Structure 1
């Protein structure tokens, strides 16, 4: 085995690699940017070296500084994780010339498969099914439009050296091709230092299925079943599972054999993933090969019992594979939810958010739950890197069991201080189409429309349960403020106001009659009976509360509570605004004038913390609705800020290079 391995990455994947190295008795070396000096991966490694300032081009993509860290540390090998330099041919070749092992495939394999244009030609030659498209590099925007017309809309424009959904755009007409070309090129340059693009037919309503392969330096190769990765937004995966509900044994073997054949055709010698699009007739087409460890590799590890990082280390050292194809089984089911620091209620199902994790508690106390993260309480999510907080993985003997475990894990996951996407994840795993396996890459817009609004209660029963819990918590808090539970009212007539929750769409208040009997609150909501138990020893200040209601237990989080009956309760993943009122308060409220909302339609605000990349308007310009005004970049992603309606630009509060806050006013129309 290697004595010492340098990890050319950061965050959760660096921590993940350190975990396997530690189990093997291999010392680890971390690298870090100045802003990451106190990060978890730096703390967990045996030694660490700073490689530059916060921007990734000056640190995690700074090959000269990383090579110097290798020299100073005496590391024998480098594991690149994913992203950054993981698929950089020149870096792998440079390590080879230095006599340092690259824990990944050889540089020729990376070059062949890392370039989407060349990989498609190689796949065709190897007999792998491929998507119709242009077998070359797109020269410019006009050439892109010409090719799109030849191929036929819709088309997919994507970075030749890309991955992880960066530098990808779907276009349905000439105008979208022009925009898609520009932004894909910018994102490709920012993420990969390579702005070459390709174009191909966009397969409508496909499933995104990927096959994990393992090949050694002795000509052996196997595939480790498939992963279902169809739940995506902005071409980035949100939830993955293994195996797929859609893939049968024949399809699995066909895709797996083609994947191994493709790997052999380029002399592949590490862990890698061959991605396919599968249509509704179970035809499959080669999409790309990722010559690295995948983000979602843990679910494959769960169902096969094979540690992929361990295998990569063994292969890089020259050992033959320990497993043959006949040894690879499917044991149970695994699901991965990608927990991001982002606002899931924004258009396109989430824009990155930044901030500090003021409270943070992973649900690792739940059996069959794994958290691959690179953060702790107090960690900062910055503008410079991917906003992933954690990969939350659940396992079960069956899919239903794995999903039930994931539900409890998401309910118990405590993240405070910034916005996160747990509400969306929690809703998806219990949504009827997902539960029944009816999904494709258009799942999110098909199910939720333009944006996610919050937990959609499938019955009045769930709403009444939430009302009952809110009533019980309100009375418990009232009793606590009186210092003696004995002073709690034996009965109470309450009203529950849910206005302000888009997903509930309840404008009328619910009525609740509550009888208190010790720790039990017997609640009648609109005629329905519910028994809620709030034990005396249960602190309302606890991060999570497990509250019995009827024959089940609900895991809730009280985000805030005040003496005016206003509560923020996280219930089934979503934080709901609830106000519990007594009869006297409701009587007075009816006499209050309705407050009118100010017209904010002419104020254009930044949806997130980011860097202004361009401003395409001037004071005095007449602009139309949906016209581009400026572009904000955050976490390597470009966001177009458009006019919300027609008007004349009367004020511009930003310029290129400015850092802007979320909700900061950028442009004002007259």
Structure 2
């Protein structure tokens, strides 16, 4: 029996493995880089070993250092998580040579399926439907352009050893093919140490649906239903759900059987995922097989009741599956929202820094049978580093049906407090509230189609705006009542509060008349609308429950210089309650003008300048590439927004920059 597992990974997946191992009575070993000395997985494990500098190429990707940690701690098994060395054939072979159990598939399956070019050939031979494309290696950008033109645009340029959206680009013309090829090679080399690239036809209006498979070393192989992973941005999954609202039982069965067929063809065992692209008439095509645990595995666990990490450990230890295909039942509906350290208001650019506040919603069973789960690897006060993937947590909800699972997710997102860095919580809330998402009419183009100009926040509808106005007035009254009590204690008299107010939010204002009762506040509007408000909010509380006319909601509250910052369902606005006289005077206040940065290229994220593509005196055209910035393993190409002459270049390749540092100036 396995007695000690070394987790060759970091962050939330390392924490996830530790929790299951602990429940099974198995000791764990964490490995960590300089940047992760105080990380949660290091604190949770029974032992921890330092393996190098912050860059993954000097720590988590160095096989010799991981093996040294195994020897130091006498671990008899290794769980690789996902990413890093999880699909590295050489790593699995080295563990075998060391007599250490690899909690994953056999080396042959990793080699066959880990290479996307080889895997497509094997899939086709095994009778699995595949997407048309060029499976040979591509020498340079010009060859990539020729191949792309022959296949027909649009095409998908992909790293052969890739995963997690790294090393992937969609090209719609020759220029994008040329640039995408080089960017994909650079990202692939940085993330996987392997820059081989292939090209395939991009299926327009597709759904990304994947099948979870599970097999043992005795020839047993089953599938555990599907996951819908179509909500993606830059080929990186954002929201996943299980099951898919699009599949019928016949398609589910056909996809599952093909996935099992492919797994058996390569002698697979352990947990794995076969990914398909599905068109509007439910034709499906093989994309790739991930020979590891998937990031989104919790939604499968929630609808099947099967702990996939536990099954991986048992299979690696030689046990037979205790589950047959007939035992697999899909129960209810699960959603997963990936919380990323990225700023949706700045084009989703990476964000780093300290988590000054990190309060996930309550986990476990909730009211009406709802279940909330949060897989995370961070804590309040911890640091989000520029060296690794930007994912902070995976928030999951389960409910008996899809509608209630979405609503449970919306509520859980409202209750998730994150401060200190940019994050995508508002955007996740916007997805949950979107009518098209709620209808299930989604494709991998959903985000690009619904937010073509980027995400600029959620605008409240009339009812939401007025509800938030009532909340702002309620909060203002509680704050003022507290001040009145304090002033009364100090000056031996009590300051009286008025009953007439004007609530202001954005460009709107609402005159109000307020009546304070026992435990409730009645707010009357001039058009006859009346809000009866109750709440548990007290000054200093950053998350509060409000009930307005019997409807409950959770709202994040913080003091702003001109009022109260209220956040709810992706809405993030400043509201203020004031006396009618103060409101009249406020109309004369000047509006502060923003600084003019139109003649500067500012660094949009913390990162490292990898290339400077122009020189002082150059004339640049609209859309011309100016520089590249690498952050969180992603390469970002900065382009000119207008025709201009470069006046000064302030940086050089290899230089680390903070947000808004000047890269170059224009005349």
Q: Same fold (TM over 0.5)?
A: yes
| Distance in 1 between residues matched to 2:307 and 2:388, nearest whole Å | 27
Aligned-partner SS, 1:428: helix
CA contact (8 A) 1:123 1:130 kept: yes
Q: What is the aligned partner in structure 1 of residue 130 from structure 2?
A: 130
Deviations 1:396-446 (A, max 9, x none): 111122112111111111111111111011111121111110100000121
Q: What is the aligned partner in structure 1 of residue 500 from structure 2?
A: 492
Cα distance change, pair 528–394 in 1 and its aligned pair in 2 (3 A): farther
Deviates more, 1:196-205 or 1:509-518: 509-518
| Distance in 2 between residues matched to 1:160 and 1:560, nearest whole Å | 50
Q: What is the aligned partner in structure 2 of residue 474 from structure 1?
A: 476
Backbone CA RMSD of aligned residues: 1.6
Cα distance change, pair 508–555 in 1 and its aligned pair in 2 (3 A): closer
Q: What is the aligned partner in structure 2 of residue 464 from structure 1?
A: 466
Q: State TM-score, norm by structure 1.
A: 0.95
| Distance in 1 between residues matched to 2:623 and 2:653, nearest whole Å | 20
Q: What is the aligned partner in structure 2 of residue 354 from structure 1?
A: 352
Q: What is the aligned partner in structure 2 of residue 338 from structure 1?
A: 338
| Distance in 1 between residues matched to 2:468 and 2:183, nearest whole Å | 44
| Distance in 2 between residues matched to 1:122 and 1:449, nearest whole Å | 38
Q: What is the aligned partner in structure 2 of residue 305 from structure 1?
A: 305
> Aligned-pair distance for 1:482?
2.2
> Aligned-pair distance for 1:625?
2.1
Q: What is the aligned partner in structure 1 of residue 569 from structure 2?
A: 572
| Distance in 2 between residues matched to 1:523 and 1:414, nearest whole Å | 28
- Correspondence list, 1:30-109, <5 A: 30-109=30-109
| Distance in 2 between residues matched to 1:530 and 1:377, nearest whole Å | 40
Q: State TM-score, norm by structure 2.
A: 0.96
| Distance in 2 between residues matched to 1:526 and 1:45, nearest whole Å | 61
CA contact (8 A) 2:501 2:577 kept: no
Deviates more, 1:290-299 or 1:548-557: 548-557
**Can you give the 5+ residue segments of structure 1 that lack an aligned partner in the other structure?**
499-506
Q: What is the aligned partner in structure 2 of residue 555 from structure 1?
A: 554
| Distance in 1 between residues matched to 2:658 and 2:178, nearest whole Å | 29
Aligned-partner SS, 1:345: helix
Q: What is the aligned partner in structure 1 of residue 543 from structure 2?
A: 544
Deviates more, 1:471-480 or 1:201-210: 471-480
Deviations 1:239-275 (A, max 9, x none): 1000000011100000000000000000001100000
- Correspondence list, 1:447-462, <5 A: 447-457=450-460, 459-462=461-464
Q: What is the aligned partner in structure 2 of residue 5 from structure 1?
A: 5
Q: What is the aligned partner in structure 2 of residue 621 from structure 1?
A: 618
| Distance in 2 between residues matched to 1:487 and 1:516, nearest whole Å | 16
Aligned-partner SS, 2:485: coil
- Correspondence list, 1:202-601, <5 A: 202-347=202-347, 350-365=348-363, 367=366, 368-457=371-460, 459-483=461-485, 487=495, 489-498=497-506, 507-525=507-525, 527=527, 529-535=529-535, 538-562=537-561, 565-601=562-598
Aligned-partner SS, 2:531: strand
CA contact (8 A) 1:490 1:516 kept: no
Deviations 1:477-510 (A, max 9, x none): 2222223697452412314031xxxxxxxx3434
1:164 equivalent to 2:164? Answer yes
CA contact (8 A) 2:165 2:236 kept: yes
| Distance in 2 between residues matched to 1:292 and 1:94, nearest whole Å | 17
| Distance in 1 between residues matched to 2:344 and 2:234, nearest whole Å | 12
> Aligned-pair distance for 1:649?
1.1
Cα distance change, pair 578–252 in 1 and its aligned pair in 2 (3 A): same
> Aligned-pair distance for 1:137?
1.0
CA contact (8 A) 1:361 1:415 kept: yes
Deviations 1:73-109 (A, max 9, x none): 1111100000000000000011111111110001110
CA contact (8 A) 1:519 1:534 kept: yes
CA contact (8 A) 1:601 1:645 kept: no
Q: What is the aligned partner in structure 2 of residue 635 from structure 1?
A: 632
Cα distance change, pair 641–579 in 1 and its aligned pair in 2 (3 A): farther
**Can you give the 5+ residue segments of structure 2 that lack an aligned partner in the other structure?**
489-493
| Distance in 2 between residues matched to 1:365 and 1:229, nearest whole Å | 23
Cα distance change, pair 517–289 in 1 and its aligned pair in 2 (3 A): same
Aligned-partner SS, 1:509: strand
